C-alpha cells in the first residue's frame, strides 16, 4: 500500500513539474509576444512622429516662402 502511495505522489510531482514547466514556457511566450507588440507599436510611433515632423517642416517651409 505504501508503495502505491509513493508512486502516486511521484507521479503527482511529475505532473506538477510538467505543469510548472508548461506555465513557464507559456509565460515566456506571452512575454515575447507582448514585447514584440510593444516594439512594433514603438516603431510605428517613431515613424509617425518622424513623418509628422517632416510634414510640419514642409508646411513651415511653404509658409516661409
Q: Quote the radius of gyration of the chain (alpha carbons, Å).
A: 28
Model confidence, pTM: 0.51
Q: What is the pLDDT of residue 1?
A: 64
DSSP notation for 10-54: HHHHHHHHHHHHHHHHHHHHHHHHHHHHHHHHHHHHHHHHHHHHH
Structural domain boundaries, residue 65: 1-65
Q: How far apart are CA 19 and CA 7, in angstroms?
A: 18
C-alpha cell at 46: 517613431
Q: How far apart are CA 25 and CA 9, in angstroms?
A: 24
Band (pLDDT 50/70/90 cuts) for residue 5 is: confident
The number of distinct structural domains making up the chain is 1
pLDDT in tens, 8-56: 777 777 777 788 888 889 999 999 999 999 999 999 988 888 888 777 7
Amino acid at each position: 500500500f505504501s508503495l502505491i502511495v509513493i508512486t502516486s505522489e511521484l507521479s503527482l510531482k511529475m505532473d506538477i513539474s510538467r505543469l510548472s514547466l508548461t506555465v513557464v514556457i507559456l509565460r515566456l511566450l506571452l512575454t515575447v509576444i507582448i514585447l514584440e507588440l510593444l516594439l512594433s507599436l514603438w516603431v510605428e510611433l517613431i515613424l509617425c512622429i518622424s513623418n509628422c515632423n517632416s510634414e510640419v517642416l514642409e508646411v513651415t517651409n511653404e509658409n516661409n516662402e
